[in-house]
C-alpha cells in the first residue's frame, strides 16, 4: 500500500510490457481508480507509437479512471498529470517545467537551451500518454500513463533525456508516487485548478513556438493555455487556438 490520500488501489509489477496496456486491460474489465506501477517496462510507448525507454529504477505509472466527462475534456487530465509530476519533481529538488502539452523538462542554461538533442528547449524528465475509450458525449474509461526518469543513470536514457538521479540525486519512489498521485487527485478535472497551476509551471508561455498540428504548422508566440488544454498562439495572422500537436520552442532572436 502507498498510504495514499487518494481513492486509489495500487497494482505493482517488477516488470511489465507497458503499464498503459495493463491499465487498458483493467479498464476493459470495469476497473476504476487503479494505479498500475512497474519497476521496468519492456514494451512501453510514447505518443504516436513512439518508443519509450523504461529501465529499472523509473516511475512507470498508469492511472485508470472513469470520469463523467465528454472526450473533449480529456486533455485536462493530461495537463493535470503534467502539473502533478512537475510539482513532485520540484519537491525532489529538480527545477522541472512543462512544455505544452505534457512534456516535463529541465531547462538547459543560456544559449544551449535549444541545442539539446531533442530540440525541445530542455532535457526531458517525464512524459505522459493518455489513452481513452468513449462515446461522443461520455468517456467510458481513461488511462493516464506517466513515465518519470527517477533513479536512472542518464547514460541509459535516449540523448536529450535527464533523470531525477542526474539532477538532484535519488528519490524514495514510493513517496514520489504518493505525492504525484495525491496532487493529481487534488486537481483531477477541475479546470479552474488545473489551468492556473499549469500556467505557473509552463516553459512554453511567452516563448516563440512552432506547433505541428493535424491541420498544419502554427508558428508564433504562445500566449495562453485555455480550457480544455488548448494552446493559444499569437501568429502573423492573429490568434490561433491549437488543440493537439507537437510543440517546439524556438529561439526568440
- Using CB under 6 A, pick the residue from 50, 136, 137, 216 that binds ligand BT5: 50
- Using CB under 6 A, pick the residue from 10, 39, 46, 188 that binds ligand BT5: 46
One symbol per residue from 83 to 122: x for binding ligand BT5 (CB under 6 A), - otherwise; what is it? --------------------x-------------------
Least separation in angstroms between residue 235's CB and ligand BT5 is 23
20 versus 202: smaller Cβ distance to ligand BT5: 20
Q: Which stretch binds ligand BT5 (CB under 6 A): 40-48, 83-91, 106-114, 222-230?
A: 40-48
CA 153, CA 164: separation in Å to the nearest integer? 9
Among candidate residues 62, 55, 125, the one with its CA nearest the CA of residue 90: 125
One symbol per residue from 174 to 203: x for binding ligand BT5 (CB under 6 A), - otherwise; what is it? ------------------------------
Least separation in angstroms between residue 137's CB and ligand BT5 is 27
103 close to 124: Cβ distance less than 8 angstroms:
yes
Q: Is 20 in the site for ligand BT5 (CB under 6 A)?
A: yes
Amino acid at each position: 500500500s502507498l498510504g495514499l490520500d487518494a481513492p486509489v488501489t495500487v497494482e505493482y509489477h517488477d516488470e511489465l510490457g507497458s503499464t498503459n496496456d495493463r491499465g487498458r486491460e483493467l479498464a476493459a474489465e470495469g476497473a476504476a481508480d487503479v494505479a498500475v506501477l512497474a519497476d521496468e517496462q519492456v514494451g512501453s510507448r510514447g505518443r504516436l507509437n513512439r518508443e519509450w525507454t523504461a529501465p529499472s529504477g523509473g516511475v512507470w505509472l498508469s492511472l485508470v479512471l472513469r470520469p463523467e466527462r465528454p472526450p473533449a475534456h480529456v486533455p485536462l487530465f493530461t495537463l493535470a498529470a503534467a502539473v502533478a509530476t512537475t510539482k513532485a519533481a520540484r519537491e525532489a529538488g529538480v527545477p522541472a517545467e512543462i512544455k505544452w502539452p505534457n512534456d516535463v523538462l529541465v531547462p538547459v542554461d543560456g544559449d544551449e537551451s535549444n541545442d539539446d538533442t531533442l530540440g525541445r528547449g530542455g532535457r526531458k524528465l517525464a512524459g505522459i500518454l493518455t489513452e481513452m475509450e468513449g462515446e461522443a458525449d461520455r468517456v467510458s474509461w481513461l488511462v493516464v500513463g506517466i513515465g518519470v526518469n527517477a533513479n536512472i543513470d542518464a547514460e541509459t536514457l535516449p540523448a536529450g533525456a535527464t533523470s531525477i538521479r542526474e539532477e538532484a540525486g535519488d528519490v524514495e519512489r514510493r513517496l514520489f508516487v504518493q505525492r504525484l498521485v495525491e496532487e493529481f487527485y487534488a486537481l483531477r478535472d477541475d479546470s479552474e485548478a488545473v489551468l492556473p497551476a499549469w500556467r505557473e509551471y509552463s516553459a512554453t508561455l511567452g516563448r516563440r513556438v512552432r506547433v505541428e498540428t493535424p491541420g498544419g504548422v502554427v508558428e508564433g508566440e504562445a500566449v495562453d493555455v485555455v480550457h480544455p488544454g488548448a494552446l493559444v498562439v499569437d501568429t502573423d495572422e492573429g490568434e490561433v487556438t491549437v488543440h493537439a500537436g507537437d510543440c517546439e520552442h524556438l529561439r526568440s532572436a
